[in-house]
Structure 1
Amino acid sequence: MAATPPPDSPPSDQEAALLRRFTALPGNAGPAGERLGRELLARWAEPHRRYHTTAHLAAVLGRLDELAGHPTDPIAVELAAWFHDAIYDPYSPDNEEMSARLAEDLLGAGRRAAEVARLVRLTAGHDPDPDDRNGAALCDADLAVLAGSPEQYAAYAAAVRQEYAYVDDDAFREGRADVLRRLLALPSLFHTPYAGEHWEPAARFNLRGELQLLTA
């Protein structure tokens, strides 16, 4: 797998905007915060990624903006968004755990760092407790890609397929169809009232459409 790009590579316009957002978070101002932001952006820009890219990070952050007011600790939730796919290897089942450990290593000790790591681990299953407002916001923002326009959803599905290019077509169709059926069987895909109202119908429409294509 290709190596992580060096954190001092010239950022794209999108990466520059993300870096400004990162360093605007409390505690991230100054050279140390900029170095950490650049390191995370370099990870998100690894060339083997097709879906779990800086575009996905930007999309998750944008969805968190829509959910403003729901988290009890929005700073921890935003930091967790930055870390939740910081380590991504399509061959590995432990990406969320490794990303959480990276957050613990880079953020140091403290209550907020522990909360960030907890939230990152939640994205492995997207199943927060009913009273977990931070977890609900992050999980909903991460899954909001399911509620994109048909064109956006098709691009997402194609990018996921590219990340699993090492899996043959029959095995991928079977595995992906199982994932979609499990999602559709859930009583609700989302956990916040806003997402349930605004994103749920489109997400179910998209999931049913992809499942039909895979099983036709």
Structure 2
Amino acid sequence: MTLERRWTELSSKADLDAEKGWALLAHHYGEAGRHWHTLSHIEDCLTVFDSIEIIPDNATNIEFALFFHDIIYDTHQSDNEERSAEVALSFLSCFDGKEEVADLILATKHTHTEPKNNDEKLIVDIDLSILGSSPDRYSEYSRAIRQEYQWVPESDYRKGRTRLLRLFLDRPKIYNTSFFQNWFESRARENITFEIETLQPAKP
């Protein structure tokens, strides 16, 4: 099933204008300057969602949140999740679960909030699943993130990225659910540790 078809079927559950919604998604996720936070990332997240052995409390809310969670992405700003939630609330104005969808989106502001319920834990883990991917795939991810921050001087990027990655390593567990801990935790720590090493200045 194509991503657009999936969106159309999801929209039918809430009696939404699927065509208008898809145009909105395609416009934002196709913006210049995006290298990781594209529709391919959304498709990857949904693929992980489909493969996990966890029954969510509300799968429809999670799917809507996954589609919208990075719809606003500006590397010069720090309120992307809040603005993405606002877009979702506006488009889903007639959907009963819109507030829950907004909360799920806000939960993906990974270093600022703690998941409050099972579905928030799940969407956070899905969004972070790339950290536990194969080394080659992780390298693609880290390069794409650097491209999105190409306006940041190299030395500043290295410091900022290292600081962010260490926040994940310093957690008792990167992932919230036992499923993701079992399948992704070890590899994620290896990948993050390796990237931190590559970000350090070369020794004279």
Q: Could you state the TM-score of these two structures normalised by the residue count of structure 1?
A: 0.86
Q: Does 1:77 align with 2:39?
A: no
Q: Residue 12 of structure 2: SS of its match in structure 1?
A: coil
8 A contact 2:11–2:18 mirrored in 1: no
Q: Does 1:128 align with 2:104?
A: no
1:95, CA displacement in angstroms? Answer: 0.5
Residue 160 (structure 1) aligned to one of 145, 149, 157: 145
What CA distance in whole angstroms lies between the structure 2 residues aligned with 1:22 and 1:28? Answer: 10
1:38, CA displacement in angstroms? Answer: 2.7
Report the RMSD for the aligned CA atoms in angstroms: 1.8
8 A contact 1:23–1:29 mirrored in 2: no
Q: Does 1:183 align with 2:168?
A: yes
8 A contact 1:18–1:58 mirrored in 2: yes
Aligned in 2, Cα 1:31/1:133: closer, same or farther, shift over 3 Å? closer
Q: Does 1:63 align with 2:19?
A: no
Q: Does 1:197 align with 2:172?
A: no
1:24, CA displacement in angstroms? Answer: 1.2
Aligned residue identity for 1:115:
E
Aligned residue identity for 1:53:
T
Q: Which consecutive segments of 4 or more residues in structure 1 shift more than 4 A?
A: 28-31
**What's the CA shift string for 1:7-26, capped at 9, x where partnerless?**
xxxxxxxxx81110111126
Q: Does 1:115 align with 2:100?
A: yes
Aligned positions, number: 199
**What's the CA shift string for 1:94-123, capped at 9, x where partnerless?**
100000000111100554011001111111
What CA distance in whole angstroms lies between the structure 2 residues aligned with 1:22 and 1:52? Answer: 17
Residue 39 (structure 1) aligned to one of 14, 18, 24: 24
Q: What residue ranges of structure 1 are gaps of 5+ in the alignment?
A: 1-15
8 A contact 1:70–1:137 mirrored in 2: no
What CA distance in whole angstroms lies between the structure 2 residues aligned with 1:65 and 1:190? Answer: 18
8 A contact 2:132–2:184 mirrored in 1: yes
What residue number does 2:80 align with? 95
Q: Give the fraction of aligned pairs with identical amino acids, expressed as a percent.
A: 34
Residue 27 (structure 1) aligned to one of 12, 17, 20: 12
Q: Residue 25 of structure 1: SS of its match in structure 2?
A: helix
